[in-house]
Structure 1
Amino acid sequence: MKGPRRIVCLTEEPTETLYALGEADRIVGISGFTVRPPQARKEKPKVSAFTSAKIDEILKLKPDFAIGFSDIQADIAAELVRRGVEVWIANHRSVDGILDYIRRLGALVGAAEKAKAYADGLRRGLERIERDAAALARRPRVYFEEWDEPAISGIQWVAELVRIAGGDDIFPELACEPLAKQRILADNAEVVRRAPELILGSWCGKKFRPDKVAARPGWDAIPAVRDGELHEIKSPLILQPGPAALGDGVQEIARIVREWNQRHS
């Protein structure tokens, strides 16, 4: 067996990727937020959240590698490094970055060719969705919200998937910002001014509330609110930078955009 043999996955996307590559036997611990694939929750101990981890429980698993994501897990990573664990914190934010992440993770565990084929298949799926979207009559203006208090707009890979699926993200300048705090809306009234025709909500870790969104001061003037076009996309499908977003996540966006076209074209 090449590469690390006892991997702790601090987020969801390495777990889903390793299962897809047939390398699940290497995983000894997972994030408590993991829902994909469903058997992972039944088979693997849950040892971390997103901003915290059970360090002592992780160490009992005798990992030779831990995989996490982004600056938000920097403190967890630092503590594991201090305790002698090798750690990889990926920091990708784009669709291309996700595909490259899958290839790199595959290479790390000696499954480079399988990972390349898997990533290529995901890429072809995106190209099919983009071709289908090009045939739609209209491209709706889309506001994607990943948190409500304060309101935070969508990250780069989400904005890219919205575009692939046939919509146009109304905050492209914020989507380029890697940190959530940089995507906090300075003024909620800016959403009103940009007049989205679709609102997609995916509040990380809690249920999206269209009624609360529609009740915000002045938001009754937004076309999406006026027409009842507020839709939830479950966070495990779209907010993890891994296979889910490039598969079921973008397909869900494409379905919503397609049905919006049927109602409004």
Structure 2
Amino acid sequence: MSHYQRIACLCTEAVETLYLLGAQDLIAGISGFTVYPPEARQHKPKISGFSSGKLEKILAVEPDLVVAFSSLQSDILKDVAAAGVDIQHFNHHDLAGVLRMVRVLGSLTGKTDAAERLAAELQVTMDAARAEAAANDAAGLPRPLVYFEEWNDPVITGIGWVGELIALAGGRDAFAELAVHKRAKERILADHREVAARAPDLIVGSWCGKRFRPETVIERDGWQDVPAVRNYGRGHIIEIKSADILAPGPTLLTRGLPQLQALIRQWHADRAAGALA
């Protein structure tokens, strides 16, 4: 059976996954936002941004398949399809979708065995985290309330896979009810004081495309009594890089989840030591 030989990846998680599957030689071009693995940025031509891309630049690498993610890349995919090139458009918003993506890319590249191994490894990671959180529950340890901010102006939160990661790590998503909304504009908070009203124990920021600035968060009107702000000096407000938690590929579990687990373990340690303000 023949498989695709020249794949243009408009999303960073596809690049990461193809490298993990051992299919990196099939990658003809990558998104300029690609972070993992670092060697991809060194050796693969950059052919697009995330929400923008020129058809001519994509077609210049002569792809037989273009892989993309989210509705933000729909318009460019229409042009790619009109040009006669096959497309694979992912739009998952949960961790189950990450595993599906791994298996689909394995099938498209003839790497089905590698895809099954990778999916199994990711599942083991999830199961281990879930078991640790369950052990804490059984021991009577409370789950901290975690507020995740993916953008600051306007304030956006509640992305589905992040809520799942928070739960796996042993926490509670402060805005879990927003996870049903797929589009970011549907998860905008009308007033940032809604966050303060929920009094999160921990705050995680990941502002896509720019550095998270916790000092601006703690200065927001009405946030001074938020537990995470009161314990800011103990590291209860952190940044997780967008490449680790906003790109819905294996990195969510290999990089994003461990950082959330470390944050929650520290919170438990501070609580046990009576160090919470």
Q: Normalising to structure 1: TM-score of the pair? A: 0.97
2:168 to 164, 168, 189: 164
Hey, what does 2:275 align to over in structure 1?
none
Q: Match of 1:220, SS? A: coil
Partners of 1:176 and 1:233 lie apart in 2 by 23
| Cα contact 1:162–1:169 (8 A) shared by 2 | yes
1:196 and 2:200 are equivalent in the alignment: yes
2:99 counterpart SS class:
helix
Deviation at 1:93, TM superposition (A): 0.6
- Residue 151 of structure 1 corresponds to 155
For structure 1, the 5+ residue unaligned runs are none
Conservation of the 8 A alpha-carbon contact between 2:158 and 2:177: no
Whole-Å separation in 2 of the counterparts to 1:208 and 1:112: 38
Whole-angstrom CA distance in 2 between matches of 1:154 and 1:211: 22
1:156-210 Cα deviation digits (max 9, x unpaired): 1110000000110011111221110011112211111111000000000110000
Mapped partners of 1:145, 1:154: distance in 2: 8
Using the aligned pairs only, state the percent identity: 48
For 1:29, the equivalent position in structure 2 comes to 29
* Correspondences of 1:118-133 after superposition (within 5 Å): 118-133=118-133
Distance 1:247 1:70 in 2: 22
**What's the offset of the Cα at 1:233?**
0.3
1:238 aligns with 2:245: yes
Number of the residue aligned with 1:226: 230
- Kindly state the Cα deviation for residue 155 of structure 1 after the two structures are TM-superposed: 1.0
CA distance in 2, matches of 1:98, 1:219: 35
Task: Decide whether the 8 Å contact of 1:11 with 1:31 is kept in 2.
Answer: yes
* Residue of structure 1 in register with 2:263 after alignment: 256
Give structure 2 stretches of 5+ with no counterpart. 273-277
Give, in whole Å, the separation in 2 of the partners of 1:253 and 1:116: 26
Shift of 1:54: 2.9
Q: CA deviation at 1:2?
A: 3.0
Residues paired across the two proteins, number: 265
Deviating above 6 A after TM superposition, structure 1's stretches of 4 or more consecutive aligned residues are: none
Structure 1 letter corresponding to 2:22? G
Alignment of 1:62-211 (within 5 A): 62-136=62-136, 137-211=141-215
Q: Compute the displacement of 1:243 (Å).
A: 0.6
TM-score by length of 2: 0.93
The Cα RMSD (Å) is: 1.1
The 8 Å contact of residues 200 and 232 in structure 1, kept in 2 or not, is answered as: yes
- CA distance in structure 2 between the aligned counterparts of 1:150 and 1:89, rounded to whole angstroms: 28
Q: Would the aligned equivalents of 1:31 and 1:50 in 2 still touch at CA under 8 Å? A: yes
Give the Cα–Cα distance (whole angstroms) in 2 for the partners of residues 24 and 54 of structure 1.
23
Distance 1:142 1:104 in 2: 32
CA distance in 1, matches of 2:95, 2:58: 30
**Preserved contact between residue 133 and residue 254 of structure 1 (Cα < 8 Å):** no
AA of the residue aligned to 2:142: R
Asked if structure 1 preserves the Cα contact closer than 8 Å seen for 2:48 and 2:57, the reply is no
Q: Which moved more, 1:134-143 or 1:251-260?
A: 134-143
Distance 1:141 1:128 in 2: 21
* Structure 2 counterpart of 1:15, one-letter code: V
Q: Tell me, yes or no, if structure 1 residue 20 matches structure 2 residue 27.
A: no
Q: SS where residue 88 of structure 1 aligns?
A: strand
In structure 1, give the amino acid aligned to 2:271.
H
Give the distance between the partners of 2:271 and 2:185, measured in 1 at CA: 34
